[in-house]
Amino acid sequence: MNAGITGVGKYVPENIVTNHDLEKIVDTNDEWIRTRTGIEERRIASDDIDTSDMAYYASEQAIRDAGISPTDIDLILIATVTPDKPFPTVACMLQERLGATKAAAMDISAACAGFMYGVITAKQFIDTGVYKHVLVVGAEKLSKITDWTDRNTCVLFGDGAGAAIIGNVSEERGIKSFELGADGGGGKYLQQEEKFIQMNGREVFKFAVRQMPESSLNVVKQAGLNKEDVDYLIPHQANIRIMEAARNKLDIPVEKMNTSVKKYGNTSSASIAIALAEAVQNGDVKDDDFIVLVGFGGGLTWGAVGLRWGK
Ligand code: ACO
């Protein structure tokens, strides 16, 4: 047996905010946003939906997809930088709401790399045989820490949640390699100051175009494979130009990379989880495909996984 992903789910709010909608509130335009970021629209949650609600909807779907019941879950890990409140954690809120009575629960904070940190942490518990089913969720309501008067940041972010169940799959499938990293020295480039996200876009961009390609290639090599063996790439959906850097490094055609950034913007820790659920649900990822998941975020943090899809 090997640790792998046995179920996926996602939730995005119904409310669509287009680039043209943003033109009405800040000095920006659709053309600038599209060409600089690849984003066309994003989902913004209404006041009555918080991070735990989105996490709950995505989790319900993932649990169903894995064919387990909430009481089978041993551990809940929620990656988020926008919890409903500092404590109790979103993970504990979800434990109660799902009726996952046997599960331990905690939140993980690694910004946009959070889902990668969650999946890789879950893998350790599965590999040791201590736990059988770990629910990992990336969930964010970034709209509540977005400064809607700052055009440098408000055009980038969106709300949503994605979930995965990590459990045992057959030996030849599952997580084959991983990489995690952090550089606290770069923390100043992307942070929440007072209420809002503040970002030095150019510095984050420079870091990301170096780290994403490097980590992607590292997990391919660590799995004993070559870049020709990669069937699908799921990068953190921050900016199409950063994602393209990772795709070019792996030399794979554009249709083999998830580009949901255009519909959802940057949903931080939720982005890779949403993209994975969507790719599986659309049939872009099939059994035995080798896929690379890779993310970077505030901290600075990064993480990547090489995974042979299927149970
Ligand atoms: N509309 C129009 N103009 C804008 C906008 C906007 N929404 N935002 C910024 N500008 C202007 C700036 O004011 C600046 O103008 P100036 O030169 O007169 O001062 C100019 O555009 C900046 O242009 P560029 O330097 O060409 O912009 P760049 O190509 O660097 O793109 C961007 C900016 C998109 C922010 C890019 O730097 C980026 O994507 N960085 C990474 C951001 C990122 O991924 N953040 C998320 C990290 S993950 C996490 O943990 C949340």
Name the CATH architecture for the domain at 3-168: 3-Layer(aba) Sandwich (3.40)
**Do β-strands 290-297 and 41-43 pair in parallel, antiparallel, or remain unpaired?**
unpaired
What are the tokens at 20? 């043209």
CA of 35 to the centre of ligand 1 (A): 11
> In which residue ranges of the chain is pLDDT below 50?
none
> Which residues, 6 or more positions from 118, have their beta carbon under 8 angstroms from its beta carbon?
77, 78, 79, 108, 136, 137, 138, 269
Relative to the CA of 113, which ligand 1 atom is closest? 50
User: Among 302, 290, 288, which Cα is nearest to 250's?
Assistant: 290
Task: Give residue 271's pLDDT.
Answer: 98
Per the confidence metrics, is the pTM higher than 0.85? Answer: yes
Q: Which fold has domain 174-308?
A: Peroxisomal Thiolase; Chain A, domain 1 (3.40.47)
Bond prior to 300 in cis (omega within 30° of 0): yes
User: Among 127, 126, 110, 129, which Cα is nearest to 118's?
Assistant: 110
Task: Give residue 128's pLDDT.
Answer: 97
Domains of the chain: which residue ranges? Answer: 3-168, 174-308
d(CA 292, CA 143): 28
Ligand 1 site, CB within 6 A = 28, 32-33, 36-37, 111-112, 151-152, 155, 190, 199, 201-202, 204-205, 208, 238-239, 266, 268, 297-298
CA of 156 to the centre of ligand 1 (A): 9
User: Among 120, 118, 167, 156, which Cα is nearest to 139's?
Assistant: 118
CA torsion sign, 145 to 113 to 35 to 210? positive
What are the tokens at 237? 């959906």
Q: Give the model confidence (pLDDT) of 182-238 as tens digits.
A: 999 999 999 999 899 999 999 999 999 999 999 999 999 999 999 999 999 999 999
Mutate to test the pocket of ligand 1, among 21, 40, 152 (most ligand atoms within 8 A of CB): 152
Nearest alpha carbon, ligand 1 atom 47: 297
- Fold match, 3-168 / 174-308: yes
Average pLDDT, the chain: 97
Q: Is 270 helix (H, G, I), strand (E, B) or coil?
A: helix
> Which residues, 6 or more positions from 250, have their beta carbon under 8 angstroms from its beta carbon?
213, 216, 217, 220, 227, 230, 233, 292
CA R_g for the chain: 18
Cα 71 → chain centroid:
25
CA of 206 to the centre of ligand 1 (A): 12
Q: Give the model confidence (pLDDT) of 145-174 as tens digits.
A: 999 999 999 999 999 999 999 999 999 999
CA torsion sign, 68 to 71 to 74 to 79? positive
Phi, psi angles (nearest 5°) of residue 240? -60, -30
Task: Give residue 285's pLDDT.
Answer: 97
Q: Is 69 helix (H, G, I), strand (E, B) or coil?
A: coil
Task: Give residue 151's pLDDT.
Answer: 96
Task: Give residue 64's pLDDT.
Answer: 98
